[in-house]
A and B are shown apart, each in its own frame.
Chain A
């Protein structure tokens, strides 16, 4: 376990976001705030190696929570792998989706004008080589965040909602909810992350926001549910 000294604070913001609730996935409904899993995804888009594993400590919700509804034409199915296999072997199949036949209209309830600060640190995994140091990974991550470099562009839940990011090296800006009555809010059970080591088991936690800040690790201590 690495001390908090190796933590980072990353400000992330964007026009839209959709952190889809698993129970409402057909017509997507977003959670009120970013999930730790989505926050990890943003960090991994910037820097990740098998030797490290990002842990989300706290999430600051800087902007008021607002929703917006968008309905789009979407495809109803996925590419069946079997059909691809047939085509691969030279079989004669029509390998395409027809946008007039295969269309469904789905609404998404998405978040608007989001801005968060992700406080996170990373831990070394078993994949780390003997000469790999925490400092090395920490400095690469910091450099990328300062320069705006990324492996692929990070996004808020869906790829059409890109994330702008900036490393916060000083005091974090205050949340809209700071010192307000609605700044203390029980956000209910939220997805914490998917446990890939255990057959992709979903782990949930009871998210609690105080002064616009969700202390993820503290909430987890109150019991993660899987």
Chain B
């Protein structure tokens, strides 16, 4: 087993969408989420975390210690027991303490180790805060939401049979480059035992999560850049906003709306504050 991480990190993930809906808004009839004050597109933190969970579930499926607590879609029941069998649970522990339960959950479930989870007990404990923290991703430019009507030449209900076809709607963003920012705390990593190889898996999942999430709604989504700031200590060496400002995205499309990643230029400033290592993962 690798060691628990000992550095604070911040990261910037740039991802784009072409003719798809990165994250629908349930309040707006599933139109792509948009910040009503600026027109910029939004992808929520939980949407990105869902994709990380799904990716980890896919690549580590059945591996002990990499179970996923919040599963999506079809759940294969026989898998989890495998995960908690391997721990060699002591039969003498008749009344496990809350800390033991928390530790057990952290060791078994990747998403609890990374993001934390809330467990109900009588007192206010059994709550784990994970080291990995996401904010909302926002698009660099204002997005244009488009509704596309499609037809289906079959019907669901018998009473509609004479119609012959039904109409449906698809909500898309023609193009959007989104920027997500995240934080990883070494101190919280200690509490959930988030290790170096868990961190590598997180970087992998950020790079590859869209590759396994293709669907009719999403269109073409890809991770474009992953820039990691590694502090040389647990506490960190610099304010996070200073680091985030080192990554600038310039729009090169001038008067035309941007329609591809080539319409943008990512500028990463080379002068890092003392104690910061810049790692370009993608």
Chain B residues with CB under 8 A of A99 = 50, 70-73
Chain A residues with CB under 8 A of B134 = 160
Give which listed residue, B26, B181, B240, contacts A73 with CB less than 8 A: B26
The number of chain A residues touching the other chain, given as a range, is 35 or more
Question: Taking the complex as formed, is A147 at the interface, i.e. its CB lies under 8 A from any CB of chain B?
Answer: yes
Within 8 A of A (CB), among B165-219: 181, 183, 185, 187-188
A16 contacts B236, C-beta separation under 8 Å: no
Give which listed residue, A69, A79, A151, contacts B235 with CB less than 8 A: A151
A162 contacts B105, C-beta separation under 8 Å: no
CB distance from B182 to the nearest CB of A (A): 9
Bound Cα distance from A6 to B35, whole angstroms: 41
Bound Cα distance from A90 to B25, whole angstroms: 41
Chain A residues with CB under 8 A of B188 = 152
Chain A residues with CB under 8 A of B240 = 148, 153, 162, 164
Specify the main secondary structure of chain A where it touches its partner: mixed
Within 8 A of B (CB), among A106-163: 107, 112, 144, 147-153, 155, 159-162
A79 contacts B133, C-beta separation under 8 Å: no
Question: Taking the complex as formed, is B156 at the interface, i.e. its CB lies under 8 A from any CB of chain A?
Answer: no
Report A62-99 CB contacts with B as 1/0, cut-off 8 Å.
00001011111111001111001101111010111111
Can you spell out 5 A-B residue pairs with CB atoms less than 8 angstroms apart?
Answer: A68-B36, A81-B98, A84-B119, A99-B71, A148-B240
CB distance from B236 to the nearest CB of A (A): 5
B71 contacts A148, C-beta separation under 8 Å: no
Chain A residues with CB under 8 A of B138 = 15
Closest to A151 in B: B187
Bound Cα distance from A96 to B84, whole angstroms: 12
Which of B14-22, B121-129, B143-151, B258-266 forms part of the interface with chain A? B121-129
Question: Taking the complex as formed, is B80 at the interface, i.e. its CB lies under 8 A from any CB of chain A?
Answer: yes
Bound Cα distance from A78 to B75, whole angstroms: 18
